[in-house]
Amino acid sequence: MSPTFRCPSCGQQRLGTSGLPLVCASCGFAGTTPGPAPRPAIEIREFSKRYGTSMAVEALSLDVRAGEIFGFLGPNGAGKTTTIRCLLGFLRPTRGSLHVLGLDAWSQAAILHHRIGYVPGELALYDDLTVEQLLRFIARIRGRIDEAERARLEARLKIDPTRRVRTLSKGNKQKVGLLQAFVHEPPVLILDEPTAGLDPLMQEEVHEMLREARAQGRTVFLSSHGLREVEEVCDRIGMIRDGRLLTVESVDELKRKAPRLFEFEFEDEPRIEEFRHLAGVTDAAVQGRTLRVHIRGDADALVKAAAAHRVKRVDARDVDLEEVFFRHYGGGPP
């Protein structure tokens, strides 16, 4: 269990992991908890997984620090779910090792699961149970359930516990999946695409829950396809493609590197020369009254140049994740 620390500024007790920078939830004081730097919450070493003859993950090594939100990002078939299911001990690594909280994910899975909350990527709940029955079943295996926490999460995620799982929509099932992972307040959360199928408001709610978990010193490992999602909540990001880890970077670093696509619709036709050579612009195209610009870093110069025209509409979005990979790590599409 995480030790309790006292905030040096306001004296509030809170959970934390020694040696980590923490921000006090009550007074906002930022500091480092006492004690030596801890062992990473998740340690993956030279991990490979082969299905039959095809290699799904190859020689992946990765540390997730205690108390951080780590995003595992990659296109379809990259090996995210394979890695996560090995972390839960469902699959046996072909080579290498995976440790969570110092325990071996394969051979010590049952003990370890007391301390992990997990949302599967392809979530399946027992269809013929009601949400309440399902939670009671899980509570029986775990030996207890915190009823107050359960009620709080049900209200927060807007879950009707009397509904039969079969009758729930995809998003509502996903919320039940999240509830069962969070309700035991585990020190480690492993979430395979946790916000898949949720509406934007609910996604934001889940992001908030993740930030709260971090503030309590818990560790989160989540997978996602969406750069925006991981940007929003993660501290660090690992990128995987074709079973190989391309890079691990802090979100700030990545934000600097990742281009965004701006699309302006002007009242008049712009000239491409106005924009092509602006700071940060990597690519620009004009089509009639529409301007499309890829930009890396801050958009100040672009917005100021655009202001010379009458702007009818502006749209900004992340460049396709795949494109980010190709631009920065070379190689064509697989």
Partner 1 sequence: MNVAVFRKTLWDLRWGLVGWGVGLAIYAALMNGLFPSLKANPALDAYVESLPEEISRIFFEGGGGSFTDYGTFIRAEFLAFLPLLLSIWIVGAAARIVVGEEEGKTVDLLLAQPVSRASALLQKMAALLAVAVAVPAVVGVALVLSSATFDPGVPRWRLLSAPFYAIPFLVAMEGVVVAVAAWAHRRGPVIFAGAVLAIGWYLLFITARLQDSLESLRWATLYAYYDGNNGFHEGPDPAYWLVSVILAAGTTWLAVVLYRRKDLLT
Closest to 265 measured CA to CA, from 282, 235, 248, 289: 289
Q: Does 74 bind ligand ATP (CB under 6 A)?
A: yes
Q: Does 121 bind Mg ion (CB under 5 A)?
A: yes
Q: Does 146 bind partner 1 (CB under 8 A)?
A: no
Can you tell me the distance from the alpha carbon of 60 to that of 20, in angstroms, rounded to the nearest whole number? 25
In the complex, minimum distance from the CB of residue 48 to ligand ATP, in angstroms, rounded to a whole number: 12
Q: Does 121 bind ligand ATP (CB under 6 A)?
A: yes
Span from 2-10, 88-96, 220-228, 254-262 in contact with partner 1 (CB under 8 A): 88-96
How would you classify residue 146: left for phi > 0, otherwise alpha for psi between -120 and 50, otherwise beta? beta
In the complex, minimum distance from the CB of residue 121 to ligand ATP, in angstroms, rounded to a whole number: 5
What's the token pair of residue 237?
A: 């990001």
Are 198 and 167 in contact by the 8 Å Cβ rule? The answer is no
Can you tell me the distance from the alpha carbon of 230 to that of 225, in angstroms, rounded to the nearest whole number? 9
Span from 102-110, 115-123, 211-219, 315-323 in contact with Mg ion (CB under 5 A): 115-123
How far is the first Cα of the chain from the last one, in angstroms, to the nearest whole number? 43
- CB-based contacts of 263, cutoff 8 Å, min separation 6: 290, 291, 292, 293, 313, 314, 315, 316
Q: Between residues 53 and 162, which has the closer beta carbon with respect to ligand ATP?
A: 53
Q: Between residues 113 and 236, which has the closer beta carbon with respect to partner 1?
A: 113
Q: Between residues 79 and 186, which has the closer beta carbon with respect to ligand ATP?
A: 79
Summarize as ranges the residues that interact with ligand ATP (CB under 6 A).
Answer: 51, 54, 56, 74, 76-82, 121, 225
Sites of contact with partner 1 (CB under 8 A): 51, 85, 88-92, 109-114, 116, 118, 120, 122-126, 137-138, 140-143, 177, 180
